[in-house]
Amino acid sequence: MNDLRFNKIAGAILATGLVFIGVMKIGDAVYAHDAHGEVAYGKDILETYYAEQAKGNEPEVELPFPQADWVGAMNAERGAAVFKKCQSCHTVEKGGATKTGPNLWNIVGTAAAQKDFAYSGAMADSGKTWNYESLDKYLEKPSRYVKGTAMSFGGLKKPADRAAVIEYLRVNADAPIAQPEAAMLPVVESDAAAVEDVVVEE
């Protein structure tokens, strides 16, 4: 075999290897990036999940928001009942009075601190937009999500309560935005050994 032919064969093998590696990297990146700035759910998270499962531990993995059970808990009637905890400080009807806190008509989908209200500096400078995920995090523990907020409410611990209240707020608007769709997960094998095999092969 002359040197030219050998170099061609070696080059072809090297190119094939590089293409294969590139395809694998692209596949990893598909679930490692979330274009909406929400929770990523990539291969590393899945590997951690299955490794913990294999050890008999309850995996502590943050799933992308919102999950189907959260969306299923969006119930305006229940939200109205839970919202009674908020009525001493907030109104929600159109043209409602300002109390200790601002009126919340048209709140879902808007930027924070846009109402006619004397907001704390922390809230005014937060740069938050009240989408479903940010509202969920804020209602869980206001002082943790917006440090320095004047809102003294302790929060709603149950995800279903938060989902219901957010749905109640959503429908109290001139033109309610669409309900969110449940976040999709990548299709993967549920066998931890299969994931371990993939890691070994890499």
Residue 56's pLDDT is 72
> Is residue 55 domain-shared with residue 107, that is, in the same domain?
no
pLDDT per residue, tens digit, the chain (202 aa), is 555 555 556 555 665 655 455 545 544 544 444 433 334 445 566 677 667 667 777 656 678 999 999 999 999 999 999 999 999 999 999 999 999 999 999 999 999 999 999 999 999 999 999 999 999 999 999 999 999 999 999 999 999 999 999 999 999 999 999 999 999 865 544 444 444 544 444 4
Q: Is residue 180 part of a domain?
A: no
Task: Please give the span between the terminal C-alpha atoms of the chain, in angstroms, as a whole number.
Answer: 32
Q: Is residue 191 part of a domain?
A: yes
* Pairwise CA distance, residues 156 & 30, whole Å: 34
Burial class (CB in 10 A: 0-12, 13-18, 19+), 171: middle
Name the residue range of residue 52's domain. 3-63+187-201
Residue 59's pLDDT is 59
> Is residue 108 domain-shared with residue 43, that is, in the same domain?
no
145, 138 in Cβ contact below 8 A? yes
> Is residue 59 domain-shared with residue 14, that is, in the same domain?
yes
| Number of domains making up the chain | 2
Q: Is residue 176 part of a domain?
A: no
pTM above 0.85, yes or no: no
Which of 184, 151, 180 lies closest to 70, judged by CA? 180
CATH code, domain carrying 75: 1.10.760.10
User: Is the bond into 66 cis (omega within 30 degrees of 0)?
Assistant: yes
> Is residue 127 domain-shared with residue 167, that is, in the same domain?
yes
* Residue 76 neighbours by CB under 8 Å, 6+ apart: 164, 167, 168, 170, 171
Residue 17's pLDDT is 56
> Is residue 77 domain-shared with residue 165, that is, in the same domain?
yes
* Pairwise CA distance, residues 165 & 82, whole Å: 6
> Is residue 96 domain-shared with residue 166, that is, in the same domain?
yes
Q: Is residue 179 part of a domain?
A: no
Q: Is residue 182 part of a domain?
A: no
Q: Is residue 85 part of a domain?
A: yes
> Is residue 163 domain-shared with residue 193, that is, in the same domain?
no
